[in-house]
Structure 1
Amino acid sequence: MNQNILDISFKFFSRNVNSFAEAKAAKKNVLIFQGLVFMFLGMSRFAKQCIVFAIDSFYILFTVWLAFALRYENVHMPKNEEWYAYILAVLIALPIFIISGLYRSIFRYSGFAALNSVAIACLQYGVLYFIAFIILLPVGIPRSIGILQPLLLLIGIGSSRAMARFWFHPAGLSVSQKCNKENILIYGAGSAGIQVANALQHNANYNVRGFVDDDEKLYKKCINGITVYSTASIKAVVEKSKISSILIALPSEKRSRHQEIYRSLIGLGVHVRTLPGIEDIANGKISVSDIREVEIEDILGRDPVVPDSNLFKRCIDGKAVLVTGAGGSIGSELCRQIISLRPQQLILVEQSEYNLYALNNELEERIKNHGYGVRLLPILADVADREYMHKIIKQYRPETLYHAAAYKHVPLVECNPLEGLRNNVFGTLSVAEASRSNGVKHFILISTDKAVRPTNIMGASKRIAELILQAMADEQNGSGTCFSMVRFGNVLGSSGSVVPLFKHQIKNGGPITVTHQDITRYFMTIPEAAQLVIQAGAMAIGGDVFLLDMGEPVRIIDLAKRMIELSGFTIRDNDNPDGEIEIKIAGLRPGEKLYEELLIADNPIKTTHQRIFKAHENYIKFYQLRQYLDALEIMIADGKVDVDELRELIKNIVNGYHVNGFSSETKKISFIDINKL
């Protein structure tokens, strides 16, 4: 900050230097100015306020003298009753300025709001001064002084604040054009764009070079001294003004509109930032802290469907709810949405101490801020511990249980198959049996698209978990606990997904690693997935397999390209060898598929919700499944992995399981071209 001030001062004093002697004199002036700046900035706040108070007192007296001089058209020497005009001005002006808070502001950050406060204070003073002038002062003193002096004082006080901003804040006037680090355009000249532009005036790191808006009435107009450009002229403005960033300031617009804008900015070589939705901005007021990076959710996410309020509340409102895996990506978002639906109590079951601690603190804060009145019970537990899970469910008697606890990372589970099966299969069995024994009304399993024709242990383990619930639901024949499962694909931004990995690789300058040129995945935002899970669970009648509409699958290599471009970098490839970030094909990992599916059989059934479907899928009777589970449990207890034997056992349980990702059942599917989003 101080270095910027010194840079400006040197440019100011040396701008017309034509000789060595003049340069030397300019440098001397700079050193003197530097000393004054540092001396002033180093003073205590009280000392600075006293100096400003003294300067304002001088202006008050000087403007009274100047008003007399202008009125008499000669150099004025006050005499007799004229001194009362000076005394009256000081006695009225200074108390008003103090009450108005003119000495509480930080003058180097004075902006429009501060100048507005000066204007209001001077107006109040002017009215009182004129009234007092007429009532208290002798008739011989010109009454025009009572009007002229407040106007002169407004100019003087306002100028002093502007000069303080000019000298002590490099983002104040046109000088800031030379010292700011980053030239930016603001896309959107509405109230949000104007607010953020005003906020950026106090930030020396940014220089707002213009607005961009599609409203033709605003073209070439100026808002607070900033020009508004048309959307068609963005490229020319970026090149001419050396724009490095574009900020999307349209918090009220739909996601689809944002995606259109992102598309139009691809290829400009600029860093794109945005603001959160208007509902996420505190008090509707926008500040610099609200500016954030464009997330992949902004690019791939869909406009949400308004939830069915009856479905949304049915299994939660006023009830005791338990969430396993509460600290995970899906589990934590379920908890956030559940507390907003006002359950009686929410039981958080989580194996990770830190995740449970962090989530509990976050939820407590939300409950306090929104007055939800929900009781939280954070419990450290391993879902595969049958005895402990039985005690928890028996003691707290949840009516609804969301089972989100699972190991989900394909390569890690492939390397640790027995632990993956213990947690995902026997953890589900443990919680399901405890729920059935203790009267849980609704049990909802969070499943995955990797459970369909799995090629890895993780996917197979989740399919076995589904089979357990289907078999238990069949045994109950519609009575007791209502077991259901919700199957969906990848969620954006979850731990271990490609999106955080790509961000990290871009931050480190690349390369980005993609496992295959043609690999595709389904994506959904975490909040949308959690919202649909809650509604799907409320539809269940027992043994239901729900599928979420994931849209079209996305090519991962296209996702990587888009993330590079929106970060303001260029792609290095054969067509552009001078690009900044390279994409490397690393090869498929063990158990990884080229594509994922949501259906085992091609028979999705519509429900009352447009993004939730049902599937009728084959399952094994529980007495048959129990035999396989016993054999699997013995193998896990033994702890010695015979990979071929383990895979053979899984094949007997899971129809369609195969080790190679390229089975004979692989079929061609369409994928979405991210460049057309």
Structure 2
Amino acid sequence: MLKDPTLFKGKNILLTGGTGSFGHAFVRMTLEQHEPNKIIILSRDEMKQWEMAKLFQTDQRVRFFIGDVRDRERLYRAMNGVDYVVHAAASKIVPTAEYNPFECVKTNINGAMNVIDAAIDNGVQHVVALSTDKASSPVNLYGATKLASDKLFVAGNSYAGGDGTRFSVVRYGNVMGSRGSVIPFFMSIKNEGILPITDPRMTRFMITLDQGVELVWHAFEDMVGGEIYVKKIPSMKVTDIARVLAPNAETKVVGIRPGEKLHEQMVGAEDALHTYEYNDHYKILPSIHNWDTTSERIKDGRKVAEDFVYSSDNNPDWMTEDALASWIDANRGKIGAI
């Protein structure tokens, strides 16, 4: 929850890539709990916009704007009069990025530069960009492009000047129940009697969509510029997820896909020198301009150990099978729907 409940009151918010799982949750929660003037959804898929518009057809605060973050001029038009931007648009399917690297770069890197330029030139107050665990010590192209994107948004604060637009990043991993993720995938094939497991040692972070939205809200309220926010969330072994979803099914080890990691990592050892811990999150501060030493960014944070790594396999917090089963029962109708 926000310390200042009026943060979004009367404000205009633009959400790039807003027809995905995060966008649906962000719009619903922000409309319910805050009083924005309007939320603008920018995306390139008119069918997804049409389907989403039906869900919010009675709320005139929700607007839709066909466009692509690759299109700089369209972004300039979309950001006219906008106060806050949430940048969620990305090419994010790991195998697709491995086989179509040029397209991934155009969206994730060129698109990020376009968002930064358009936000600065339109006088946007704050921009929060969504990142991924794969940007930490990346081993695949998607992760590498998101690391580059993160660096661009951090440096955007220098680019904007002292009193200009502020940019920050939020980073999290596997979103529970989102379209294309492991839970709906296992649920869709569990009746076949065999679940494919890439590696029995594999672990994943577990975050809900609501938690992802709340982290973005927190970033808007807390940011000075250049911070990367990492939510503290539990981990779970993929084999345990399979057992909860299909206790009678067999498992078959099929091997790790191209570009896939055995464990998710949010904060690497190289970032530890600039990372601070808080009650429910970590914050990686930018090393440029000595911004990692400023009290206004550190606030009440505690410096982590020099060898600190926040990974899904060394996480002190683990989700139990009973907790996952309870979550599935409570959210069964929404899993994989968006």
- TM-score with structure 2 length normalisation? 0.82
Which residue, out of 63, 70, 85, partners 1:377?
Answer: 63
* Aligned positions of 1:167-246 closer than 5 A: none
- In the TM superposition, what is the alpha-carbon distance from 1:468 to its structure 2 partner? 0.6
CA–CA distance in 2 between the matches of 1:478 and 1:666? Answer: 32
Amino acid aligned to 2:199: H
Q: Which residue in 2 is equivalent to 1:560?
A: 242
Q: Which residue in 1 is equivalent to 2:220?
A: 537
Change (3 A) 1:355 1:673: closer
Is contact 1:478–1:541 with CA below 8 Å preserved after alignment? no
* CA deviation map 1:171-229 (0-9, x unaligned): xxxxxxxxxxxxxxxxxxxxxxxxxxxxxxxxxxxxxxxxxxxxxxxxxxxxxxxxxxx
Helix, strand or coil: the match of 1:461?
A: helix
Which residue, out of 251, 259, 265, partners 1:591?
Answer: 259
The answer to whether 1:333 aligns with 2:25 is: yes
CA–CA distance in 1 between the matches of 2:319 and 2:130? Answer: 28
Q: Which residue in 1 is equivalent to 2:302?
A: none
CA–CA distance in 1 between the matches of 2:39 and 2:116? Answer: 18
Helix, strand or coil: the match of 1:492?
A: coil
Is contact 1:474–1:543 with CA below 8 Å preserved after alignment? no
Change (3 A) 1:352 1:667: closer
Amino acid aligned to 2:135: A
Amino acid aligned to 1:443: V
Amino acid aligned to 1:422: K
Change (3 A) 1:421 1:479: same
Which structure has the greater CA radius of gyration?
1
The answer to whether 1:605 aligns with 2:276 is: yes
Amino acid aligned to 1:308: L
Change (3 A) 1:537 1:474: same
* CA deviation map 1:500-527 (0-9, x unaligned): 11011114x2311111110111011111
Which residue, out of 308, 315, 318, partners 2:2?
Answer: 308
Which residue, out of 351, 356, 363, partners 2:49?
Answer: 356
* CA deviation map 1:305-340 (0-9, x unaligned): xx1341x541x2111111011101112211112222
- In the TM superposition, what is the alpha-carbon distance from 1:476 to its structure 2 partner? 3.4
Is contact 2:2–2:221 with CA below 8 Å preserved after alignment? no
Helix, strand or coil: the match of 2:233?
A: coil
Aligned length: 298
The answer to whether 1:670 aligns with 2:304 is: no
The answer to whether 1:426 aligns with 2:142 is: no
* CA deviation map 1:111-160 (0-9, x unaligned): xxxxxxxxxxxxxxxxxxxxxxxxxxxxxxxxxxxxxxxxxxxxxxxxxx
Change (3 A) 1:465 1:611: same
Higher strand share: 2
CA–CA distance in 1 between the matches of 2:255 and 2:3? Answer: 45
Is contact 2:120–2:160 with CA below 8 Å preserved after alignment? no
Q: Which residue in 2 is equivalent to 1:391?
A: 77
Helix, strand or coil: the match of 1:490?
A: coil
* CA deviation map 1:231-269 (0-9, x unaligned): xxxxxxxxxxxxxxxxxxxxxxxxxxxxxxxxxxxxxxx
Q: Which residue in 1 is equivalent to 2:134?
A: 450
The answer to whether 1:615 aligns with 2:284 is: yes
Q: Which residue in 2 is equivalent to 1:513?
A: 196
CA–CA distance in 1 between the matches of 2:74 and 2:214? Answer: 29
CA–CA distance in 1 between the matches of 2:199 and 2:212? Answer: 26
- In the TM superposition, what is the alpha-carbon distance from 1:670 to its structure 2 partner? 2.9
Identity over aligned pairs, percent: 30
Q: Which residue in 2 is equivalent to 1:527?
A: 210
Amino acid aligned to 2:314: S
The answer to whether 1:409 aligns with 2:80 is: no
1 or 2 for the larger relative contact order (CA 8 Å, sep ≥6)? 2
Change (3 A) 1:617 1:511: farther
- In the TM superposition, what is the alpha-carbon distance from 1:530 to its structure 2 partner? 0.9
CA–CA distance in 1 between the matches of 2:50 and 2:116? Answer: 25
CA–CA distance in 1 between the matches of 2:322 and 2:63? Answer: 46
Q: Which residue in 2 is equivalent to 1:642?
A: none
Helix, strand or coil: the match of 1:361?
A: helix
Q: Which residue in 1 is equivalent to 2:166?
A: 482
CA–CA distance in 2 between the matches of 1:409 and 1:471? Answer: 26
Helix, strand or coil: the match of 2:116?
A: helix
- In the TM superposition, what is the alpha-carbon distance from 1:416 to its structure 2 partner? 1.1
Helix, strand or coil: the match of 2:258?
A: coil
Change (3 A) 1:384 1:594: same
Helix, strand or coil: the match of 1:408?
A: coil
CA–CA distance in 1 between the matches of 2:204 and 2:193? Answer: 22
- In the TM superposition, what is the alpha-carbon distance from 1:497 to its structure 2 partner? 0.6
Amino acid aligned to 1:557: T
Kindly report the root-mean-square deviation, in angstroms, between the aligned alpha carbons of the 2 structures.
2.2
Helix, strand or coil: the match of 2:272?
A: coil
Amino acid aligned to 1:532: L
- TM-score with structure 1 length normalisation? 0.42
CA–CA distance in 2 between the matches of 1:419 and 1:358? Answer: 26
Unaligned runs of 5+ in 1: 1-306, 368-373, 571-580, 621-664
Amino acid aligned to 1:320: N
Helix, strand or coil: the match of 2:41?
A: strand
Change (3 A) 1:618 1:414: farther
